[in-house]
């Protein structure tokens, strides 16, 4: 309690004055910072500009997490930054910034911005529509969302510039918004999702004043453009703590209407188990440094809805594949209306789903054709997930996984064994064409059927 009072007093006394925290205190090893981000800072500083590594990269380095990317903030305008680098382009409408390209790595370089003002364009709910007012370093720190993101690392001095005690909050695993929480959430409702994600990643807490308005303002998420919402949900589900994020979304009332699939899945029998298996496996891949397929992730999260509707349509007497197509179309129509899942992901999702009933047909000739499908391995992984949830027989699913992992010679041997099984041989046998019976020729005095 005493420490909290001291921290609060210190915040008031130092308001507007940054702390310059040395490497011995913040713990960032310069060798872990992208050499291209350092290069951008050095070039800008050599031309008389301020330039710092900023935001999530600094946060992750202090927290001991390997950053996914590196951003730079500077007092140079985009037009001043672009000519200093051989491969650089100005992008963005709401946020104009520069992408400096070094091979496969892109360093996003933004100009210091001032906090929102009465002259800025907002919608009826207070969400910022434009944010291109340039400002000072202090202005830029004030307009950032959370204290742990308002940190600036100078590669030259190896100091962290901290206006809002972000390093202290980060050490204490506390997510604290900068400014009035209600105003900041109205400016950008996605900040509520980010607060949940950061708290889950840090295994920490959201500071009470930051947490309190979330439940009341959760409906503002509906005003966020679908493409931006998809990007944020993808970050949330691939941060390595997805299951904890989903639980926290429910705890803060942010899941309703955000992803319609969560409303349904988490409340139907067996649905939550399937989601848990999906997200646990996703988290395990992220933590082990393996790649994540967004198509596979969303195919898994939407499967319970697709499967439920598929079974309903099958019960009405429709064939399996047309019934599945109808179920898939209806579910995707609902989801993509709110969440702009990119078309390339939707195509892969459909391939994974439509291969599931085809796994039931294990004739050698059909299996060879299935092996040629681009999403065969992903579909096998999906079948394994269904087996773990008790939807299909685990021995059956393992046979397909063994086939996916086998060499061509081993596959030929497996399929040779399969062809000796009666049911496979019968399925693979060519079907006899049924001979059409001829109608008897009419007798004298009897006109052919249908004749006038």
Per-residue pLDDT, 127: 55
Model confidence band, residue 13 (pLDDT cutoffs 50, 70, 90): very low
Task: Kindly give the pairing relationship between strand 88-91 and strand 71-74.
Answer: unpaired
Q: Tell me the mean pLDDT in the region 15-43.
A: 93
Q: Tell me the mean pLDDT in the region 93-102.
A: 89
Between CA 424 and CA 363 the distance in angstroms is: 5
Per-residue pLDDT, 11: 52
CATH assignment of the domain containing 95: 3.30.460.10
390 within domain boundaries: yes
Which tokens is 103 given?
């091979």
Listed residue (129, 92, 131, 127) closest to 115, CA to CA: 131
Which tokens is 201 given?
């990643």
In the chain, pLDDT over 90 holds for what percent of residues?
57
Model confidence band, residue 315 (pLDDT cutoffs 50, 70, 90): very high
146 within domain boundaries: yes
Per-residue pLDDT, 429: 46
Sign of the CA dihedral running 43, 48, 54, 58: positive
Between CA 376 and CA 403 the distance in angstroms is: 11
Per-residue pLDDT tens over the stretch 335-384: 776 677 888 899 999 999 999 999 998 888 889 999 999 999 999 999 99
187 within domain boundaries: no
Q: pTM to 2 decimals?
A: 0.77
Between CA 364 and CA 412 the distance in angstroms is: 9
Listed residue (211, 191, 166) closest to 55, CA to CA: 166
How many structural domains compose the chain? 2
184 within domain boundaries: no
271 within domain boundaries: no
Model confidence band, residue 231 (pLDDT cutoffs 50, 70, 90): confident
* Residue found by looking up tokens 């249908």 in the block: 450
Catalytic center residues:
69, 71, 145
**Domain-terminating residue out of 149, 172, 195:** 172
* Residue found by looking up tokens 């946020």 in the block: 95
Residue 267 Cα distances to 129, 255, 274, 310, 370, angstroms: 36, 12, 12, 19, 35
Listed residue (248, 242, 235) closest to 280, CA to CA: 242
Per-residue pLDDT tens over the stretch 105-150: 999 999 999 875 544 555 555 555 555 688 999 999 999 999 999 9
**Domain-terminating residue out of 152, 172, 192:** 172
CATH assignment of the domain containing 303: 1.10.3090.10
Over the chain, what is the mean pLDDT?
85
Per-residue pLDDT, 449: 44
Task: Among 47-61, 79-93, 297-311, 408-422, name the one with the lowest average pLDDT.
Answer: 408-422
**Domain-terminating residue out of 172, 206, 240:** 172
Both 162 and 29 in a single domain? Answer: yes
* Domain, as residue range, for 308: 294-427
């Amino acid at each position: 309690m005493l420490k909290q009072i001291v921290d609060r007093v210190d915040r008031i006394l130092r308001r507007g004055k940054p702390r310059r925290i040395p490497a011995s205190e913040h713990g960032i090893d310069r060798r872990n910072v992208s050499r291209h981000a350092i290069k951008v800072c050095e070039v800008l500083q050599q031309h008389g500009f301020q330039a710092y590594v900023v935001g999530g990269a600094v946060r992750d380095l202090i927290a001991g997490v390997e950053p996914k990317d590196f951003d730079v903030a500077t007092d140079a305008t985009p037009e001043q930054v672009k000519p200093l680098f051989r491969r650089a382009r100005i992008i963005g409408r709401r946020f104009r910034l520069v992408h400096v390209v070094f091979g496969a790595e892109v360093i996003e370089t933004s100009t210091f911005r001032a906090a929102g003002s009465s002259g800025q364009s907002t919608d009826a709910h207070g969400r910022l529509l434009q944010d291109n007012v340039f400002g000072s370093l202090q202005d830029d720190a004030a307009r950032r969302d959370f204290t742990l993101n308002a940190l600036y690392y100078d590669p030259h001095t190896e100091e962290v510039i901290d206006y809002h005690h972000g390093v202290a909050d980060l050490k204490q695993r506390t997510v604290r918004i900068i400014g009035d929480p209600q105003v900041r959430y109205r400016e950008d409702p996605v900040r509520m999702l980010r607060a949940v994600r950061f708290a889950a990643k840090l295994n920490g807490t959201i500071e009470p004043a930051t947490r309190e308005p979330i439940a009341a303002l959760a409906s503002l998420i509906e005003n966020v453009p679908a493409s931006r919402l998809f990007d944020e949900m993808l970050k949330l589900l691939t941060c390595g703590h997805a299951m904890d994020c989903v639980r926290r979304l429910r705890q803060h009332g942010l899941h309703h209407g955000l992803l319609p699939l969560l409303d349904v899945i988490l409340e139907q029998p067996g649905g939550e188990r399937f989601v848990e298996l999906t997200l646990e496996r996703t988290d395990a891949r992220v933590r082990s440094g393996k790649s994540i397929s967004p198509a596979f992730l969303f195919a898994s999260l939407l499967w319970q809805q697709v499967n439920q509707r598929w079974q309903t349509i099958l019960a009405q007497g429709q064939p399996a594949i047309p019934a599945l197509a109808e179920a898939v179309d209806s579910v995707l129509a609902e989801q993509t209306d709110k969440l702009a899942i990119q078309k390339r992901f939707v195509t892969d999702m459909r391939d994974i789903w439509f291969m599931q009933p085809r796994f039931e047909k294990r004739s050698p000739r059909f299996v060879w054709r299935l092996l040629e499908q681009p999403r065969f391995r992903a579909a096998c992984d999906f079948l394994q997930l269904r087996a773990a949830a008790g939807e299909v027989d685990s021995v059956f699913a393992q046979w397909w996984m063994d086939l996916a992992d086998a060499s061509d010679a081993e596959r030929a041997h497996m399929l040779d064994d399969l062809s000796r099984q009666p049911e496979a041989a019968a399925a693979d046998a060519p079907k006899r064409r049924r001979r059409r019976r001829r109608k008897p020729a009419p007798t004298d005095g009897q006109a052919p059927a249908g004749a006038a």
